[in-house]
Amino acid sequence: MARRNIIVGLDVGTTKTAVVISELYRESQVHLLGIGTSPSRGLKQGQVVDIVDTSEAIQTAAAAAEHASGIRLDRVCVGIAGGHLISHSQKAELRLRANERQISDRHVDRVVRATANIQPPEGREIVAVIPKSYSVDDLSGVSNPRGLSGRRLSVDAHVVTGAVNAMTNLENSLKMARLGVEVSVLQPLASAQACLTKEQRQDGVALIDIGGGTTDIAVFMNDHCWHISVLPLGGQIVTSDISRGLRLPMTVAEELKVKHGRIDSRATQDRNPVTVPGFDRGAPTNVRMSDLTEVIEARMVEILQHVKRELVHSGYQQLLPAGAVLTGGGSQLSGLPEMAMEVLGMPITLGRPPALWGLEENIRRPEFCTGIGLSLAGLEARSGAGLFSHEPRGVNGSIDTVKRWVKGMLTPRPEPEWEAE
């Protein structure tokens, strides 16, 4: 058996399930071996509502990735998402012993774990703890306190909780698909791993991931995540608006949105028709571009206004010189960056995955940011580097409450051995 440093990212989205298989080559270069996708069924707003349908979508995507890579899948780095996620700030303090003068990894581990020493409301569990900044005695705003001298160490962190039922349903879907969990990561953080630069995270940026069922927001400053929120609105509701407003089948509405969806002043004046199949046994029907644009624009403005309110409420809207980065499948509408710049009042860029060995240019699209980010996060966890930390629960690689954080990174299980077919 050839031992290979391989990680599998699994993005179970509302409209699409993606499996990304990567390998760390010679400890420095990431090689993307294969991607498999499948239309998602059994999810609503990022949460599993049908375990059988969800597991079948996972199996289909996994089989396609296995075929592309020649690797048999066993365990995955899975993304945690959905409107059930809630975050709040939590502080903790640790006083060093009289004979201790220098802050060590052990001190950082203890103080961060202390922030998770809370009792979540009934039906909820802690899924992630994200340190924002540390203080050593009277010195605040410390990003890495290790090695500093002091008597008192404190941390300001985000504690993210999720619904127990939602987590269990995802776990059961994976079990039915015969996949174990090596590590789990919040999807907004995985997307950031793939499409934000270190400079953006350092200077201050908001990541806005517009998926099928939800819009995820993650704010980064000083290379740390300072805020996370999930809005129960995404690209699927735009498709639903087109279907209802223009009286079209949902599949036709989705295709129309993807192929012809635009948000710009010329589109609102474009009365040229597009012929598409209608409800009457597929009989052709004409849709004016201006009507399509009007429906899309109304809903996208609403989504962006919700994003703006969330950023204002977080207190960080005026502290983001790098502006916002749009990603996710819903971000690809022509003219959306210009609209977002106007509504949010900040610079806007379109995020997409980095150029990786094996990643074809036509796949470097925003909708693959999360899957690729999950794969990258898992590889960094194994190498002892990275931004994020979360530990799977229990035995046999199931998902669980955070038990510990080590060095502000993912806590992986022992590296499995892989066989090339």
Q: Is 45 helix (H, G, I), strand (E, B) or coil?
A: coil
Alpha-carbon distance of 259 to 254, in angstroms, equals: 9
Give domain status of residue 409, yes or no: no
Choose the final residue of a domain: 110, 145, 163.
Answer: 163
Contacts of residue 325, Cβ cutoff 8 Å, sequence gap at least 6: 195, 196, 200, 205, 206, 207, 208, 348, 349, 350, 351
Residue 411 maps to a domain = no
- The two beta strands, 205-210 and 215-221, are antiparallel
Same domain, yes or no, for 201 and 325? Answer: yes
Cα–Cα distance, 314 to 161 (Å, whole number): 17
Domain with residue 263: its CATH number is 3.30.420.40
Q: Are residues 297 and 206 in the same domain?
A: yes
Q: What is the CATH number of the domain that holds 96?
A: 3.30.1490.110
331/218 same-domain check: yes
Q: Of the residues 137, 163, 189, which one is the last residue of a structural domain? A: 163
List C-alpha distances in Å: 262 to 8, 132, 276.
34, 38, 17
Q: Are residues 136 and 252 in the same domain?
A: no
User: Same structural domain for residues 218 and 308?
Assistant: yes
**Are 219 and 159 within one domain?**
no
Distance from C-alpha of 380 to C-alpha of 319, rounded to nearest angstrom? 29
| Residue type present at position 8 | V
- 136 is in which domain, residue-wise? 86-163
Shared-domain flag, residues 331 and 241: yes
pLDDT tens across the length of the chain (421 residues): 456 788 899 999 999 999 999 887 766 678 888 999 999 989 998 899 999 999 999 999 999 999 999 999 999 999 998 888 888 889 999 999 988 889 999 999 899 989 988 888 999 998 888 898 999 999 998 988 999 999 999 999 989 999 999 999 999 999 999 999 888 888 988 899 889 999 999 999 999 999 999 999 999 998 889 999 999 999 999 999 999 999 999 999 999 999 999 888 787 777 888 888 888 777 888 999 999 999 999 999 999 999 999 999 999 999 999 999 999 989 989 999 999 999 999 999 999 888 777 777 777 888 889 988 898 887 776 655 544 443 333 323 344 433 333 333 333 333 333 333 3
